[in-house]
Amino acid sequence: MRKLLLLSTSVLQNGKYLDYASDVIKAFFAENGVSKIVFIPYAAHDHDAYEKKVKDAFLEFGLELNSIHKSDNLMATVKEAQGFFVGGGNTFLLLKTLYDLNLLEAIKSRVLQDGIPYMGSSAGTNLATVNICTTNDMPIVHPPTLDAFGFLPFNINPHYLDHDPTSKHMGESRETRLSEYHDIPNAKSPPVLGLREGSWLQVKDDQILLKGSISNQTARLFVRGQQTKEHEVNSDLSFLLKM
């Protein structure tokens, strides 16, 4: 079982927090009968400030949201959760904190065994995949492993960015960085979906749909040993579960 809503980003240029995806978020929780959401704030340092921002946005969507960092029994909060939202920020910090608090397996089991809906944005989307090897973030802390929830057997690169040929910047392009992942000798690095700003995945059990708020947008798929391929918004990407 898996019910996932995985956003590339939490905000579009000049936009309000999560505003561009408000209808999708409302529908995702409504169709699963969820009115009260447990928020995972650990990708940021200031949990109180982060909770306030997210709580206000969810209130406007008619949803109650409370951050787990205020709970005096984290495990009970996870066990009683109707739904999760894991917010963006620093992916290393998020993963390390979940390991430190022994929450990774607990949340994973709720989502995969009990079918509890999971919404992620940016770092929260990275966490839903097999590992955080394709995050864009800086390793400001060192998690014990890079393995993540593994709700999906492939990787996502959120905020996917095309190379600007006019740039004087000579650091690696996103495409080069992802190629390095697939060029590791004798490894089985899984496919990576480059999810551009304003697009997201809707996952229901074995069905994966690519969606987006920007017309004609595509997502770029990197598969080890193959040419990259663009997939249009509204494509069915369920085949990624079998690669």
Annotated catalytic residues are 122, 137, 159
Among 172, 206, 230, 236, binds a copy of itself (CB under 8 A): 172
Length of the chain: 243
H/E element, 39:
strand 36-40
* 229 DSSP assignment: E
Under DSSP, the state recorded for 242 is G
Q: Does 159 bind a copy of itself (CB under 8 A)?
A: yes
Q: Is 225 in the site for a copy of itself (CB under 8 A)?
A: no
Among 147, 95, 145, which Cα is nearest to 120's? 95
Binding mask 9-28 for a copy of itself (x = CB under 8 A): xxxxx---------------
Nearest distance from residue 73's CB to a copy of itself, in Å? 23
- Choices 60-68, 69-77, 161-169, 217-225 (CB under 8 A): range interacting with a copy of itself: 161-169
| Interface with a copy of itself (CB under 8 A), residue from 26, 181, 228, 238 | 181
Three-state secondary-structure class, residue 120: strand
- 77 membership: H or E segment, kind and range: helix 74-80
**Contact (CB, 8 A) for 24 and 5:** yes
- Smallest gap, in angstroms, from Cβ of residue 74 to a copy of itself? 19
The residues pairing with 147 across neighbouring beta strands, listed in sequence order, are 131
Choice between 152 and 178, CB closer to a copy of itself = 178
Residue among 143, 150, 155, 163 nearest 182 (CA): 155
Residue 123 phi/psi, 5-degree rounding, is -55, -35
1, 30, 31, 45: residue in contact with a copy of itself (rule CB under 8 A)? 45
Site residues for a copy of itself, window 88-147 (CB under 8 A)? 89-90, 92-93, 122, 132-142, 145-146
The Cβ-side half-sphere exposure at 24, using a 13 Å CA radius, reads 23
**Neighbouring-strand partners of residue 84:** 38, 118
- Residues that contact a copy of itself, how many (by CB under 8 A): 41
Interface region with a copy of itself, contact rule CB under 8 A, candidates 8-16, 32-40, 52-60, 64-72: 8-16
Interface ranges with a copy of itself (CB under 8 A): 9-13, 45, 89-90, 92-93, 122, 132-142, 145-146, 158-159, 161, 168-172, 177-178, 180-181, 183-185, 189, 197
